[in-house]
Amino acid sequence: MISLGDQLDKHRGFGPGFDFLRIFLSLGIVAWHSFILARDDVPVEHIQFVWFAGYGILYIFFALSGFLIAGSAQRLSLPNFLVNRGLRIFPALVVEVLLSAFVLGVIFTNLPVQEYLSRFDTYRYLTNIIGLMNFRLPGVFENNDLHVVNYSLWTVPYEFGCYLIMSAFMTFGMLRKPALIAAFAAALCIAGLALTLCGVHPQSTDEGLFNALCYSFFTDRGSRLFVAFTLGIAAYLLRYRIPYSRAIFALCILLLSGLAALGPRDSLSIPLLNILASLPLVYVMAFLGASNVPMPPILHERDYSYGIYLYGMPIQQVMVSLFPGVTSPVGQLGLAIPAIIGFAALSWHLIERPILRQRRHFSFVAKVRDVGAGAPAERVPDAVRSDRQVNAA
């Protein structure tokens, strides 16, 4: 039977479906948020079947990230890997946070501009750049149902945590031992379920630092991101042992549909979901990524997914503020999507892509990416198969 690795090799090691997945998932997050931000609040987390999207979209995103950067981690030294990741994450994030604090905030605060610019909270918002989350700016979006500016950034510290995990794998040579990586993911799942059964659900810091760390790493909603990322790495390393099968893909969809039917969300804990849903979700990600999914030509060689993630919620909040009469989630989404894609395109062409070109000095992937859409790509060595999309992971 053909393997995932064999299928990727048919496309010179570049999974043709990964570009589609990134755009689809980033827009899915925006759509999910539209139901939370719009004035006609729809409790999507309590709707049978629909609730599972809130769990699965981010899970697949982080599994995708682990899968795509595993090749980069095999190929680069640890310092170069971290520089690689830093160049991908920080420039666009810095620009978005600065624009939110000093452009969007100045325009939409209900405070006098001088007072807004003199508030400590205005400058504390900049700590989002280093993963210390602050979601509100003084006086901004106070008339919206939710007063946050960009709650999407809650995943940033988890992403940093994933890179620390990858760094540990690289340091201790675990990328040559995919079974140990899979075992690590299994241990995260089992420990999370055990801690949940033991009642580790701190509602405040009064319950101690240890409980808080256990909560964040093993039982909180963010724990699924570590599991997903780790299993994504394992899937890449085992790609020649995993069958590329439509039957398995269909079975995974069937299993996930059955799991979604068990909801809504309140009836299932995150650790239990991590155990039940992880393998089917990772397989769905890898199968679709290795498949030839049609994409609009304008999106080839352009990755707007990170910009959509960064600018999605701030622009949605702007639309809620500017058009209070449009109360439905679908109506608000229709207003926000063109602006979100526009800002994402500007972010890609003016910030992300020029910065990523600097990686040619030490990254094989950057050299391949820069040959141009019409030029013949050179054969990708086995060590970096499936890694072209790492520019956008």
Helix, strand and coil content of the chain, in percent to the nearest 5, comes to 70, 0, 25
Of 27-41, 153-167, 215-229, 232-246, give the lowest mean pLDDT range. 215-229
Amino acid, res. 82: L
Flag whether pLDDT at 308 surpasses 60: yes
Instruction: List the one residue out of 143, 145, 147 whose CA is nearest residue 41.
Output: 145
pLDDT at 67: 97
Flag whether pLDDT at 161 surpasses 70: yes
Flag whether pLDDT at 298 surpasses 80: no
The total domain count for the chain is 1
Spell out the residues 6+ positions from residue 152 whose beta carbon is closer than 8 angstroms to its own: 29, 33, 309, 310, 312, 313
Tokens of 186: 């299994």
pLDDT at 269: 83
Flag whether pLDDT at 53 surpasses 70: yes
Instruction: List the one residue out of 238, 192, 197 whose CA is nearest residue 216.
Output: 192
| Domain range for 360 | 4-392
Instruction: List the one residue out of 391, 331, 316 whose CA is nearest residue 152.
Output: 316
Q: Are 256 and 284 in contact (CB under 8 A)?
A: yes
Cβ–Cβ contacts within 10 Å for residue 236, how many?
Answer: 28
What backbone phi and psi angles, to 5 degrees, belong to 17?
-90, -10
Flag whether pLDDT at 218 surpasses 50: yes
pLDDT at 383: 37
Quote the pTM value.
0.89
Of 38-42, 99-103, 241-245, give the lowest mean pLDDT range. 38-42
Amino acid, res. 341: I
Tokens of 135: 């979601």
